[in-house]
Chain A
Amino acid sequence: MGTIQNKLEDPVSDELTLVRAAKQGDDSAFEELVRRYDRNVFRIAQHITQNREDAEDVVQEAFLKAYSNLAKFQEQSKFYTWLVRIAVNEALMKLRRKKPERTVSLDEDIKTEDDSLPREIADWSPNPEQQYTQAELREILSKTIQGLPPGFRTVFVLRDVEGLSTEETAAALELSVPAVKSRLLRARLQLRERLGRYFQKRESGDGEQ
């Protein structure tokens, strides 16, 4: 058991070592993978489901599914990308069960190109986040991202919050690279516009400039 713990130096080759050990039945190696990625999977799941209990379920189901399908993992991609794909699918399934009247898929919400043109171009105050307490800011960010369609917020979260590359995001979501880029642009612009309501420079009053 201790042998795995001693090898945790190079994150990339080490991930493969852990995966191979887990495939051989070493549960402590799998537990190490859980420890390494549980926070990421939870964040992704809560961003998609917008519900904490659902996110907890998704974390459990995603890791259990990864464990039981580990033999099928081909090692051509990173384990993490493979795990993210499982977690995103589980999270989208939760959403579908909750909102059966609406189709929830990554392919929805394709609109015409010009919907991403910004309508609101007012500047923000410097360090706008400092106008709010941490709790208020989290509330604003959470509410704002909830307003995005699931397909957009999923791409945004993987790329901009979790830091996956465009290619990794495309692989995890089974989308093309241009599709990821186009959704990312629209997600970023929509969030920017919505956050502007809270962060815009106030023109009135106290002798600005």
Chain B
Amino acid sequence: MKCSDFLHELTNYLDGVLDKPTKVELENHLSWCHNCYVVCDTTKKTIEIYRDSQLYELPEDLRTRLRSAIMTKCQQHKKRGPESV
């Protein structure tokens, strides 16, 4: 397996959707190719950091305000009839 082949399969590998023989081949490549190991490891970290980041959380007060605005608009829409949006 070449580095470009490894890279091609990286997303499938990280998502755990590779068939067994490809996975074995890929892990064999990772065991000796330091560059690909680093790319794989730091890409995995990138995903984890974003997943755990709680970026753009909706504050509770804003959440309540938005929900109330949404439901008011929905009720207005219901009164006016289906052609209003």
Binding site for B on A (CB under 8 A): 25, 27, 30-31, 34-35, 38-39, 42-43, 46-47, 55-56, 59-60, 63-65, 67-69, 116-118, 121-124, 128-129, 137-138, 141-142, 145, 156, 160-161, 163, 166, 181, 184-185, 188-189, 191-192, 195-196, 199
- In the assembled complex, the CB of B21 is this many whole angstroms from the nearest CB of chain A, namely 20
Cβ A64 vs Cβ B74 within 8 A: yes
Rounded to whole angstroms, the CA-CA distance of A188 and B4 in the bound complex is: 16
Rounded to whole angstroms, the CA-CA distance of A199 and B49 in the bound complex is: 11
Cβ B11 vs Cβ A195 within 8 A: no
Closest to B39 in A: A118
- What are 9 A-B contacts with C-beta separation under 8 Å? A25-B78, A39-B58, A63-B70, A65-B85, A117-B4, A118-B7, A121-B38, A129-B49, A160-B50
* B1 CB-CB contact with A under 8 Å: no
| Chain A residues within an 8 Å CB radius of B38 | 121-123
Cβ B46 vs Cβ A31 within 8 A: no
Given contacts A27-B74, A68-B85, A192-B42, contact A39 B57 (CB under 8 A): yes
Rounded to whole angstroms, the CA-CA distance of A40 and B43 in the bound complex is: 23
Cβ A116 vs Cβ B53 within 8 A: no
- In the assembled complex, the CB of B38 is this many whole angstroms from the nearest CB of chain A, namely 5
Binding site for A on B (CB under 8 A): 4, 7, 10-12, 14-15, 35, 38-39, 41-43, 45-47, 49-51, 53-58, 62-63, 66-67, 69-71, 73-75, 77-78, 82, 84-85
Tell me which of B12, B15, B82, B84 has the highest count of chain A C-beta atoms within 10 A of its own C-beta: B15
Given contacts A65-B85, A191-B46, contact A39 B74 (CB under 8 A): no
- In the assembled complex, the CB of A153 is this many whole angstroms from the nearest CB of chain B, namely 10
The prevalent SS among residues of A at the interface is helix
Given contacts A121-B35, A124-B42, contact A43 B56 (CB under 8 A): yes
Rounded to whole angstroms, the CA-CA distance of A50 and B67 in the bound complex is: 21
Cβ A64 vs Cβ B85 within 8 A: yes
Cβ B50 vs Cβ A68 within 8 A: no
Cβ B10 vs Cβ A141 within 8 A: no
Given contacts A118-B39, A189-B43, contact A64 B73 (CB under 8 A): yes
Given contacts A64-B73, A116-B7, A166-B15, contact A192 B46 (CB under 8 A): yes
Cβ B71 vs Cβ A142 within 8 A: no
- In the assembled complex, the CB of B50 is this many whole angstroms from the nearest CB of chain A, namely 6
